[in-house]
Structures are given as C-alpha cells and as structure tokens.
Chain A
Amino acid sequence: MTVMEQRGAYRPAPPPAWQLRTDPEPLLPDAAPFRVLGTEAAAEADAQLLLRLHAELVRGRRYNTQATALTKQGRLAVYPSSTGQEACEIAAALALEERDWLFPSYRDTLAAVARGLDPVRALTLLRGDWHTGYDPREHRIAPLCTPLATQLPHAVGLAHAARLKGDDVVALAMVGDGGTSEGDFHEALNFAAVWRAPVVFLVQNNGFAISVPLDKQTAAPSLAHKAVGYGMPGRLVDGNDAVAVHQVLSEAVRHAREGGGPTLVEAVTYRMEAHTNADDATRYREDDEVAAWRDHDPVLLVERELTARGLLDEDRAATVRENAEAMAADLRERMNQDPELDPMDLFTHVYAEQTSQLREQAAQLRAELEAENESDGAAR
C-alpha cells in the first residue's frame, strides 16, 4: 500500500443520507490550557527533565537580554525578543529527536540554539552578514523564516518526503498567532492532514501580531480549535509551563512518528517585550496586563517546582546563572568582532552555475573592488 492509499477512502454520500465523516469530539482541544507546574501532577515530572529545562530557560532568558543589548549597540539590525516565551521554544525543541527537523520563524532563535546551533550562527540573519549562517541539513533546522507561515508547507513537504523514503522523521513547525491568519497556514494544515504527514504545528499565541490583539485576529474559540476543520487533533497548552509544553509536544511527536498524522498545538503565552526594538508596545497594551504575566513567568514556574522539591539549592542556582553568563559573555565577545565578508559572495550562490549575465556583473564588481584597493593603497 502506498502512502497515498493509506488515507481513508472518502466520498460525499448522496443526499439526503449525508453524514459527517468524523466525530469531531476527539479532535477538540480541552477548554483550558493543559498545565503541570503548580498542579498535583507536577510531582510526577522527571527531576532530570526539570533541571535541564531550568538550565536551558535561564540560558535562553540571558540570550534574549544579551541579544537585545546588542541591538542597542548596533551589532544586530533587529532582534525579536522571545522573553516570556522561552518555555515554548525550548521545551518544544527538546521534544524532538536528533533526526527530526525544526522549521522556525524569525522569533524562534532559542529553539534553534536549544537544538545545539551555535548562538552566533543563529544570529546571522539578524546581524545582516548573511541570510542564514548555517547549513540547514547539518542541524536539521530550516532557515529562520521572515515571511509569515510560509515555512509551514515546507515542514509538511519535508515530513512527507521523509515518510516516502521510509524514514521516521518528524517536522516541528512554529508559527505565531498572527501567522494563523495567513493562507499558507491553512494550506499547510490541509496538506498535512490529507497526506497524514508527520508534522507538529506549534502556534505560540503571545497575544499580539505586532500590535493587533488576538480578538482582532480570529473569531475562533481558540487557535487550537482550527485543527478540527482539517481533521487533526488540536491541543491547548500553557506555553509558560515548560513541563506541560514538553509533555504535549512529546505526545504529538510520538503520534506523528507512529503514523498518526499531524497535530496542531496552541501554546498560550505572552510576549513580555515589544515585537522588536523598532516597536513601541506601550501604544497598544496596558502595564497591568504585562505585570499580571510576570507572576506566571516560565523561569519562575520551574524554579518554584524545583525549590519545593528541594532540587534547587543556592549552589546549583549559581552554577546555572554562571553558565548562562558565560554563554552571554562569549556571545558578546564574538558578536563584537566584525564579520569578514567577501563581496564576491554576492554572485556565488544565485545559481549552481553562474549565468553569463552574472559573470559580467561579477567582473564589474571585482574591478570596482580592485580600484578601491588601489586608491586605498595610494592614500596610505
């Protein structure tokens, strides 16, 4: 049986015997976001996982503050901070196996770093020395995607291709709440469901698409509800609860790997900073709202649980902080070095083989560079 034949045969029955094909009940998300931390279930959470999540969250938070500082120094053109959303990014990335693929949006640098990508290379797009600073195949991380939701169909195609080849690879595709309004979001979910592709869609609902709040973005009961119309399960999770995110994502990944098809997960979280450093968040939201989310901070939630279980003493907390500080210092130092750029690279990777038109233009630039060098030499 081919992969295509594995889809259920479905023909609209002639009227009046029309019947809905699927009972939507099992596909519907729960009424409230799934939570572990702060509930009795937290006691069941694996201690090693909690400690790992804690260390990664602290590191992720420090990465966000350091990268934001680098924008102020002009070292980064822009940085869309994910402060407040670290649990979504890190816990989701840690739910993947090494052979799986991540399809991040421009805000998901931390997910890429949590998969082991060099923090400096993860920032190439935002620094502006090249568009993608790494080989996507080496890390199984697609390029950070700037257009909204356009990476979602890529995730579907890759997962489908992997399945055709007989590889049990899962693709995790990340998108924001605003991105769910895009046509590519719809097409990706539809293709994934029809093909039963091993994909997990993670919507990080952080409340705002730049300045537009969720109630102006959608009239759906939740973003997870959108799954039902495509015939895939929708799951709602507290995006600030790293253990809950890890658990829901791990289940969705397993479901996909075992041939169960895609899942749409909505992680409810909050963007603590502005959209980017070019945005003024005070124009569209109240300080009270931001303050309310501070008490539900993803780092705080894990720390409370670890402390309650006696797993986080001052020594351990200090070590975690020091490691994060060392990462930040290294990032700062390497980002403060000017990247070495070769202008001739402009023509190198447009086509596998340069066209005669590009060869002419490359010769023109080379001559300009040589003339520049000569005049520099003469000036000295």
Chain B
Amino acid sequence: MTTVAVKPATMGQALGRALRDALADDPTVHVMGEDVGTLGGVFRVTDGLAEEFGDDRCTDTPLAEAGILGTAVGMAMYGLRPVVEMQFDAFAYPAFEQLISHVARMRNRTRGAMPMPITIRVPYGGGIGGVEHHSDSSEAYYMATPGLHVVTPATVADAYGLLRASIASDDPVVFLEPKRLYWSKAEWNPDTPETVEPLGKAVVRRTGRSASLITYGPSVPVCLEAAEAARAEGWDLEVVDLRSLVPFDDETVAASVRRTGRAVVVHEATGFGGPGAEIAARITERCFHHLEAPVLRVAGFDIPYPPPMLERHHLPGVDRILDAVARLQWEAEN
C-alpha cells in the first residue's frame, strides 16, 4: 500500500506549483510580470521560480501592463508560451488594448496561422480589505471579447488543474485568481496533482433538489455555506461551479436547472450588464418550461467597488443568497 503525501495546501501554493511544473515540462513556457522574480509575486505565487529557472524564464518586467502583454504577443509570435501576471484586477486595464485588439483576435485575423497561447493571470475580486483599485471583478469585460477564454478556480485542486490546462491551451486564457481564496486550504497531494477536463466544463459541487445556485470563483464557498444553512429551512440546494465562463457549459447548467426547476446566479461582480445577466438569459432560453420561478441574480451592487470598511455590505453573502432562494419559493407558490 502506498502512502500518499496528502497535506494541507493553499490555493496560492497550488498555483505556484502549476507554474513550476509548466516551466519544467515545457521549455517554451515563460513567466513574466512586475515583481514575479526576486520577490516571488506580491502574493508569493511565483515564489522560487526565478531562482529555479533563471530570470530569462521568470522575468521581472518594467512596470507597464500594456508592455507586459504587448511583448508577450511578440514572444508568442515566435513560438513561446508566455504566462503574464497583472498583479491586481484594476491594474490590467492599461493592457486592454493589447488584449482586445491583438491577443483575442490574432488567431482570427491570420486565419489560424498565428495562435496566441498566452495565459493572463489576473488576481481579482474583493474581500481582502484592499484599497481602491485592488478589488474589481472585471470578468464581464473579458467575457464580452470573442477569442478569449475566461477561467476561474474555486478550489485548491482546480487552481492547479485549471492553470495547467490554461497554459497548455493554444488560445489566450484570462485566468482569474480569486484573491480571497489564495489562503484557502485543502488536503492536496502535490506529487500527483489532479488535472481537469478540457477548459469549459462546469462541475456540480453539491447536489440538491430545491434550487440551483449557479456560481464561480470566490462565490463558490459562499454558496456552499448558504446551501448548508438552507437545510435548516428544509431547502436542498444544488451548487454548480462554472469554473469556465468562456466557453460556457450550457449543458451542465441546463441539466441542473431542469432537475431543480429554480435557479439563482451568484457572483460579486456588478449585476447590471454583468455575467449573471448572460447566464440568466441562457438558462431562460433553454429551461423556460422547466422553471418554477424567474431566474434571480445575487450580485454585487451596481457601484464602483466600495472602500474596504464597507465591502461586506457589497459582497453577496449567505443571507442575501438565502433571501433570494426564499423569493424563489414564494414565486413558485403564488
């Protein structure tokens, strides 16, 4: 009988291990960004990589997001697989032109001759008491751009598996890292880390019969907590972790909602024009005759991300999710 070295690991450590293994397995992989070298990243995700692989493979760049992503485009043109870090969600905005005008559409404009296998790591979301410009959830901008994959892990195992799959992808991936889950721990074996199915597969984290909570990234643990709390009300909630916003797993989501007949979409990005609007529309188009109630959204308020001392009022929490579920019951009974 083999003993397996399972021990608690954080999501940050799993992400670092994924980068390390990708660098070791494929000489074309290059990690680059501000502070990723000597410092090991402000969240220590890239800790030790420059030491192990040299600063040609893990490069501290000048502080310029458009330059980081723009040079990565040229590196990908020459056959490399850059993994770039944007450090914080709102710091990625200067790189939007490169992302949208070049990274996302280079394959398309060259009829497939010039793919862009770039992974863009964006630590995102709130809940860590960050000051202004350090807590945005910008996934709707990325989702609205054809040519990009948009992926976000919610568990330690997925952090490893999804990042490996993203780096291996021949297309650009915006890899959203939920900042407040960096320190979340799980039993994890770094010697035989789990891989994932190809990008674009959602997973049912908890089965249930009363309603489906459709969620991703930092809101997954909140929804699981809400589902536990809901048992006291006699509600048996299913929790679907999307893992990938683009491509979107219509099949898993529709199957869940058809089983339960009710759905609440939960995310911390703003609701108006947000990811939940798209998801609710897709559910309605596919499951209308199975629905016992309208699809509801529990999202961040439609405000610029609030100062840290007020963020708990903005972020969707267990109570707000349970209130929405209660409204589903009401809608069904009347």
| Residues of chain A at the chain B interface (Cβ within 8 Å) | 2-5, 130-132, 135-138, 142-143, 147, 150, 152-162, 164-165, 171, 183-184, 187-188, 190-191, 194, 345, 348-352, 355-357
Contact = CB atoms under 8 A, between A and B. Distances in A.
Contacts of A152: 70
B269 to A, nearest CB: 20
A155 B74 CA distance: 6
The CB with the most chain A CB atoms within 10 A, among B56, B108, B169, B248, is that of: B108
Contacts of A188: 67, 70-71
Contacts of B101: 147, 150
Interface string B67-106: 1011111111111101000000000001001100110011
A159 B75 CA distance: 8
A157 B109 CA distance: 19
Contacts of A158: 74-75, 77-78
Contacts of B54: 2, 4
Given A5-B55, A154-B70, A349 B108 contact: yes
Given A184-B97, A349-B112, A350-B108, A157 B55 contact: no
A154 B80 contact: no
Name the residue in B70, B82, B102, B115 with the highest tally of chain A Cβ atoms < 10 Å from its Cβ.
B70
Given A130-B111, A143-B109, A153 B66 contact: yes
Given A191-B62, A357-B250, A153 B110 contact: no
Contacts of B111: 130, 132, 345, 348-349
Interface string B104-122: 0111111111110000000
B247 interface: yes
Contacts of B197: none
Contacts of B62: 187, 190-191, 194
B234 to A, nearest CB: 36
Nearest to A173: B74
B66 A161 contact: no
A161 B55 contact: no
A157 B107 contact: no
Given A154-B73, A157-B72, 16 more contacts: A2-B55, A4-B59, A132-B110, A136-B114, A143-B114, A150-B70, A153-B74, A154-B74, A157-B70, A157-B71, A164-B80, A171-B74, A183-B94, A194-B62, A351-B171, A355-B246
Contacts of A161: 74-75, 77-80
A350 B107 contact: yes
Given A184-B66, A350-B146, A191 B55 contact: no
B57 to A, nearest CB: 9
Contacts of B70: 150, 152-154, 156-157, 184, 187-188
Interface in B7-60: 30, 54-56, 59
Interface string B180-205: 00000000000000000000100000
B113 A137 contact: yes
A130 B109 CA distance: 7
Given A2-B56, A156-B74, A352 B250 contact: no
Nearest to B244: A355
A137 B246 CA distance: 28
**Complex A-B, nearest 7 residue pairs according to Cβ-Cβ distance, in ascending order:** A157-B74, A153-B70, A187-B67, A157-B71, A131-B109, A158-B74, A161-B78
B229 interface: no
Nearest to B67: A187
A135 B110 contact: yes
Contacts of B233: none
B333 interface: no
B108 to A, nearest CB: 5
B77 A142 contact: yes
B331 interface: no
Contacts of A183: 66, 94
Q: Binding site of A, secondary structure by majority: helix, strand, loop or mixed?
A: helix
Interface of B: 30, 54-56, 59, 61-62, 64, 66-67, 69-80, 82, 94, 97-98, 101-102, 105-115, 146-147, 149, 169-171, 200, 246-248, 250-251
Contacts of B79: 161
A345 B73 CA distance: 24
Given A150-B101, A187-B67, A159 B74 contact: yes
Q: Which of A3, A183, A190, A349 has the most CB of B within 10 A?
A: A349
B107 A154 contact: no
- Please indicate which of the listed interface residues A137, A142, A171, A187 has the most CB atoms of chain B within 10 Å of its own CB: A187
A137 B112 CA distance: 11
A349 B149 CA distance: 14
A150 B98 contact: yes
B115 A352 contact: yes
Most buried by B among A150, A157, A188, A357: A157
12 contacts: A138-B113, A142-B77, A152-B70, A156-B67, A157-B75, A161-B80, A183-B94, A184-B67, A187-B64, A191-B67, A349-B111, A352-B169
A136 B200 contact: no
A156 B71 contact: yes
Nearest to B59: A4
A131 B107 CA distance: 11
A348 B59 CA distance: 35
A161 B80 CA distance: 7
A165 B67 contact: no
Nearest to A153: B70
Given A160-B71, A187-B67, A355-B200, A154 B246 contact: no
Contacts of A349: 107-108, 110-112
Contacts of A164: 30, 56, 80
A96 B98 CA distance: 26
Contacts of A150: 70, 97-98, 101-102
B164 to A, nearest CB: 17
Contacts of B69: 153
B250 A356 contact: yes
A187 B66 contact: yes
A3 B56 contact: yes
A155 to B, nearest CB: 6
Contacts of A138: 113
Nearest to B200: A355
A153 B98 contact: yes
B147 A136 contact: no
Contacts of B171: 351-352
A308 to B, nearest CB: 43
B110 A351 contact: no
A154 B82 CA distance: 13
